[in-house]
Amino acid sequence: MSTPVAACERRDLRVLFVCKGLPRDGLGHVIRTRAVASAAHSRCVIEVVVIGGSIADSLLQGSVFTYAVVPDVAGATAVSHAFKPDVVVFDLLDLDGASFDEITRGSRSVTLSPVFESLALVDKVFHRTKVPDPSWRLLDKRPEFRMGLEYTVIPEQHQQISTAIYEQTLTRNRLSVAVSMGGADAANRTLEVIRTLRANRQKLLLWVLLGEGYAHSYQDLVDATRGAPHEIILAKTNDSMWHILATCAVAILAGGITTSQAVYAGLPSLNILESPERGFLVEELVSNGACLRLGDTLDASLAHLNETIEQLDAERDSLLQMHLRTRGLIDGEGARRIAEEIIVLAARPRA
């Protein structure tokens, strides 16, 4: 049984969050870090350091905690040495062992990202599904895993869609389809999706959500649907993203953190994975009927995209059933749970 949090809350406990917010990594790590750091800030001293640039900075403005944006790992290491944390919480994909050791010198460590180069070195891993990454069985050292949908981090501004509102959405003539392939979408999968949807035989209302880090041509997206019967709305979004998604019947997503957030919101999604190795991240949600996985690769997914949307448009009750199956799977308390366990870990005496 874990130690009650109230018994170990100490304002002198120091927790450092280290994440990345770069175009090739996406911005989900920054958003998840912000949510967990916000949940923990009243119970200990928090510092957040983001390896990134102005885009990451814009996502953290107005935060309740102190943060710094640095250009590289060396900058994060310098912050850690000055801050002297009890626990370092990572949320990024790649960090070599030597850099990990420098940042965590004398500290316990946690990762919020289940896909992490130095996973075997951390003390604890938080993972938003009970389905493990098959590669974990090859780890030389196994950290403590805390796994399950209850560890899904949902930012405070995310809203749930009531069934009454969703049923009203389904009555509209044009099926409203959101496309959100990540805050940065360095590979411009958004354009590939839009080009594919151009051939869809239904008249769709396309909401194309483009994050702060989207650096590709907006005009190319408009041109990709020229001559098609669809209406297309391009929206640069951040916190307002979920206000828009609440008006949609289905979302086309990249199978990352946003997929879990869509399940919390009650929005069915069609997921296009970056690679087959990332399938474990959505497997539990798919098996619960809360979303669909179109394929293991971009090409395989796009090959099934129009057929799937046309079928869902013709049988809209199947979308309603998917919406109903999202209910209760994710309760929105993941950030609080993780923050509490981090504080317990920070207060634990070292052997």
pLDDT band, very low/low/confident/very high, at 90 (cuts 50, 70, 90): very high
Around 185, how many Cα atoms within 13 Å sit in the side-chain half-sphere?
26
pLDDT band, very low/low/confident/very high, at 211 (cuts 50, 70, 90): confident
One domain, residues 121 and 174: no
Residue pair 19/29 in contact by the 8 Å Cβ criterion = yes
pLDDT (0 to 100) of residue 141 = 87
One domain, residues 338 and 303: no
One domain, residues 190 and 119: no
CA dihedral 207→208→212→217, nearest 10 degrees, is: -140
One domain, residues 53 and 173: no
User: What single DSSP character describes residue 182?
Assistant: -
One domain, residues 342 and 314: no
* Range of the structural domain that residue 320 is part of: 163-326
pLDDT (0 to 100) of residue 3 = 36
One domain, residues 262 and 174: yes
pLDDT band, very low/low/confident/very high, at 41 (cuts 50, 70, 90): very high
Domain count, the chain: 2
The residue ranking higher by pLDDT, 164 or 182, is 164
| Among 254, 257, 208, residue whose Cα is nearest residue 31 | 257
Percent of the chain past pLDDT 90, that is, above it, reads 77
One domain, residues 321 and 181: yes
Q: Classify each residue of 93-102 as buried b or exposed e, where b means 16 or more C-beta atoms within 10 Å of its C-beta.
A: eebeeebbeb
Cα three-residue angle 266-272-278, rounded to 5 degrees:
95
| Token pair for 67 | 């943060």
Q: How many residues does the chain have?
A: 351
One domain, residues 217 and 111: no
| Token pair for 226 | 């020229």
| Among 220, 255, 211, residue whose Cα is nearest residue 59 | 211
β-pair partners for 205: 176, 231
Q: Classify each residue of 237-259 as buried b or exposed e, where b means 16 or more C-beta atoms within 10 Å of its C-beta.
A: beeebbebbbbbbbbbbbbbbbb
Which residues, at least 6 apart from 61, have a Cβ–Cβ distance to it below 8 Å?
none
One domain, residues 273 and 167: yes
One domain, residues 65 and 207: no
Model pTM score: 0.91
pLDDT tens digits along 220-250: 999 998 989 999 999 987 667 888 999 999 9
pLDDT greater than 60 at residue 2: no
| Among 5, 37, 38, residue whose Cα is nearest residue 18 | 37
One domain, residues 53 and 133: yes
Q: What is the CATH number of the domain that holds 92?
A: 3.40.50.11380
| Token pair for 196 | 């594919």
pLDDT tens digits along 309-320: 999 999 999 999
Q: What is the CATH number of the domain that holds 218?
A: 3.40.50.2000
| Residue 2, number of CB atoms within 10 A of its CB | 9
Expressed in angstroms, the distance from the first to the final Cα of the chain is 19
One domain, residues 224 and 310: yes
Percent of the chain past pLDDT 70, that is, above it, reads 95
